């Protein structure tokens, strides 16, 4: 009996030792088997390449410690999982979690002020502690530090029509991309150069100040009048943005841009065909927009897109104010849907637009894709809803349309393209029509004419207003991109779209592929969970305990029968 007792004791100690050693090993070795249908826990090859290439310590501080509702606890757990995956591939990636609401009132206020200066806006949560409701301020950010540089990553996607649960699900889906992209930006030793064209009535710098300010942390940005150049070299200019020229772009400048593309240059075209704004409509009872003669139609047609001479209207749109009466001498206004300002929700799974909030465009035109001689892939990134129509030039615009309920049957033209991505090998617009002036340009730079491009990318958008910020010269303040002053709302999709597009154009590792992973959202049915709450509590809490007791009783009687005579 003593030997039997010793055997049990040794076995028990061995089990405890094994469990202890496994837990120690788990602190240093992170492995798992991804059995999910959509492989959501498997890092993409581009992410693995980037993480493995880190050759110095990267320290990540995540501000998601503390008490949270269940959804945010899951977000925190998923962040830990992703960071453990990164660290398993490269031990130079270290992380910690911090609760920014810990400390004295003065410490908390000083910390929040510092976060505000770093561009971190807080999120307000409601937490229930028993019957008590508590409003809590959180900062869902990760601060990635590499040497003396810091990059702040917002881990929480904006809440849109799907509510908080969908926003949290989108946030979890994008964790790999956001963390990997945040690290990649710090690893760049040379910042890419982004040039905004000027000299042809393009958007002034104060209208793109917010965008350029956001880009300046990771890119060099500037403005350049291309008319003075003989060459635009892709090794010097990584991306060219043409922001809505209002006057004709000369043939010489078009030739410079064309050869830039032929040599691998990337271009974002923001092309508007009509000069139209609300002030003009207010002044003129019956307003006919003035066409913009930018001279780019044939060039874009050659590359694969035609900007149509129309204006799009959509029942899915933002609102503008109109006077509905007077109180004394003070005008009373209400908001009305303005069909010329469509709200475009992404229908594509392309990583540039997947999962982003709606993009608020203003007076866009339709885009047609054209068959080209070059090997060019065309993908529609953004379009109007199915409840759309268009007006062909010369169109008349007035506010009378707001006085009656819209006839849905007239919004029957289906989805109309607003943003089209072109990728591949483009045929030169100047093929078989190189002029003496063009030949002189090539001679000046010692280059040969290229009729077919190397693989590259172009993006064509039929509106530039979506990326503009508002500027108050009195206070020198600028609004966020996508801010609607009448609705007092910021359409987060506007900034996300242009930022994602720029990152896609300049993505060295292909990290944006991680953003395009197709995760299935399995949100709980709130009605069903409420009705079946007791049943599932019994299954998940009571049943396992009962099974353990049943097993213990069976084991006890089996041992008693076997050993007791």
470-500: per-residue pLDDT in tens?
888 878 889 999 999 999 999 999 999 999 9
Residue 308 in domain = yes
The CATH number of the domain where 170 resides is what?
A: 3.40.30.10
Res 134: pLDDT: 63
Dihedral angle of Cα 319, 322, 328, 329, to the nearest 10 degrees: 110
Contact 286, 359 (CB under 8 A): no
Please report the pLDDT score of residue 504 as a whole number.
93
| Domain final residue pick, 135, 158, 186 | 186
Residue 520 resides in a domain: no
Catalogue the E-assigned strands of 301-448: 305-307, 310-314, 317-327, 330-344, 359-360, 367-369, 376-383, 388-392, 417-424
Q: Are residues 85 and 166 in the same domain?
A: yes
**Does some domain include residue 515?**
no
523 in any annotated domain: no
pLDDT at 74: 86
pLDDT digits 0-9 by tens, 229-254: 999 999 999 999 999 999 999 999 99
Which pLDDT belongs to residue 46?
A: 83
The pLDDT of 385-407, averaged and rounded, is: 90
Averaged pLDDT, 438-464: 93
Q: Angle 70-89/175-187 helices, nearest 10 degrees?
A: 50
Percent of residues, the chain, with pLDDT higher than 70: 86
Please tell me whether residues 501 and 388 are part of one structural domain: yes
Res 475: pLDDT? 80
Q: Determine, yes or no, domain membership for 55.
A: yes
The answer to whether residues 389 and 469 belong to one domain is yes
Instruction: State the pLDDT confidence band at 532, using cuts at 50, 70 and 90.
Output: confident
Shared domain check, 458 and 349? yes
Share of the chain above pLDDT 90, in %: 46
224 and 320 in a single domain? The answer is yes
**Is there a single domain that holds both residue 217 and residue 347?**
yes
Say yes or no: 248 and 382 in one domain.
yes
Of 75-79, 203-207, 371-375, minimum mean pLDDT range: 371-375
Has residue 514 been placed in a domain? no
Residues 122 and 179 in one domain: yes
Please indicate, yes or no, whether residues 14 and 115 belong to a single structural domain of this protein: no
Q: What is the chain's mean pLDDT, rounded?
A: 85
Please give the structure tokens belonging to residue 191: 């910042």
How sure is the predictor about 343, in pLDDT bands with cuts at 50, 70 and 90? Answer: very high
Instruction: Kindly tell me if the per-residue pLDDT of 418 is higher than 60.
Output: yes
**Full-model pTM:** 0.79
Element (H, E) at 402: none
Model pLDDT, residue 530: 62
Residue 1 belongs to a domain: yes
Residue whose C-alpha is closest to residue 183's, from 265, 95, 111, 98: 95
Do 157 and 100 share a domain, yes or no?
yes
Task: Give the model's pLDDT for residue 156.
Answer: 85
pLDDT digits (tens, 9 = 90+) for 82-121: 999 999 999 999 999 988 888 888 888 898 889 888 888 8
Question: Who wins on pLDDT, 472 or 268?
Answer: 268
Q: Domains in the chain: how many in total?
A: 4
Give the sign of the dihedral formed by CA 52, CA 55, CA 61, CA 65. Answer: positive
- Is the domain of 77 the same as that of 126? yes
Residue 516 lies in a domain: no
Structural domain range at position 22: 1-30
Is there a single domain that holds both residue 373 and residue 253? yes
């Amino acid at each position: 009996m003593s030997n039997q007792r010793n055997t049990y004791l040794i076995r028990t100690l061995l089990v405890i030792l094994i469990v202890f050693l496994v837990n120690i090993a788990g602190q240093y070795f992170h492995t798992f088997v991804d059995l999910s249908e959509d492989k959501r826990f498997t890092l993409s090859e581009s992410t693995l390449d980037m993480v493995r290439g880190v050759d110095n310590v990267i320290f990540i501080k995540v501000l998601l410690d503390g008490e949270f509702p269940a959804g945010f606890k899951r977000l925190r757990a998923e962040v830990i999982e992703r960071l453990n995956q990164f660290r398993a591939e490269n031990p130079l990636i270290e992380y910690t979690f911090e609760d920014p609401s810990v400390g004295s009132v003065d410490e908390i206020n000083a910390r929040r002020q510092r976060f505000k200066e770093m561009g971190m806006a807080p999120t307000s949560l409601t937490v229930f502690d028993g019957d008590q409701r508590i409003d809590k301020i959180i900062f869902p950010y990760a601060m990635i530090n590499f040497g003396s540089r810091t990059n702040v990553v917002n881990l929480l996607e904006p809440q849109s029509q799907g509510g908080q649960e969908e926003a949290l699900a989108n946030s979890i889906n994008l964790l790999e991309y956001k963390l990997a992209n945040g690290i990649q930006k710090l690893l760049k030793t040379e910042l890419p150069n982004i040039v905004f064209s000027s000299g042809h009535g393009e958007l002034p710098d104060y209208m793109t100040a917010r965008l350029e300010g956001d880009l300046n942390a990771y890119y060099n940005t500037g403005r350049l009048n291309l008319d003075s150049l003989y060459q635009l070299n892709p090794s010097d200019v990584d991306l060219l943005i043409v922001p809505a020229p209002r006057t004709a772009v000369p043939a010489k400048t078009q030739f410079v841009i064309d050869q830039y593309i032929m040599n691998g240059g990337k271009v974002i075209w923001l092309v508007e065909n009509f000069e139209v704004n609300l002030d003009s409509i207010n002044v003129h009872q019956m307003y006919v927009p003035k066409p913009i003669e930018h001279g780019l139609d044939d060039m874009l047609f050659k590359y694969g897109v035609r900007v149509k001479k129309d204006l799009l209207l959509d029942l899915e749109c933002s609102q503008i104010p109109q006077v509905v009466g007077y109180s004394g001498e003070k005008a009373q206004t209400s908001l009305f849907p303005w069909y010329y300002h469509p709200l475009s929700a992404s229908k594509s799974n392309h990583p540039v637009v997947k999962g982003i909030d709606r993009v608020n465009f203003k007076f866009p035109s339709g885009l047609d894709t054209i068959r080209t001689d070059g090997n060019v892939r065309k993908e529609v990134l953004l379009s109007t809803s199915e409840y759309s129509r268009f007006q062909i030039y010369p169109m008349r615009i007035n506010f009378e349309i707001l006085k009656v309920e819209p006839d849905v049957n007239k919004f029957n033209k289906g989805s109309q393209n607003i943003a089209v991505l072109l990728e591949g090998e483009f045929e030169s617009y100047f093929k078989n029509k190189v002029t003496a002036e063009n030949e002189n340009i090539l001679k000046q730079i010692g280059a040969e004419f290229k009729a077919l491009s190397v693989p590259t990318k172009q993006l064509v958008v039929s509106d530039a207003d979506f990326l503009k910020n508002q500027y108050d010269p009195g206070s020198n303040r600028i609004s966020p991109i996508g801010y609607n002053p009448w609705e007092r709302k910021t359409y987060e999709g506007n900034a996300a779209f242009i930022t994602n597009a720029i990152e896609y154009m300049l993505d060295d590792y292909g990290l944006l592929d991680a953003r395009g992973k197709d995760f299935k959202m399995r949100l709980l049915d709130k009605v069903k969970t409420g009705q079946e709450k007791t049943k599932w509590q019994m299954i998940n809490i009571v049943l396992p305990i009962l099974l353990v007791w049943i097993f213990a009783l069976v084991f006890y009687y089996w041992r008693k029968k076997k050993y007791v005579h």
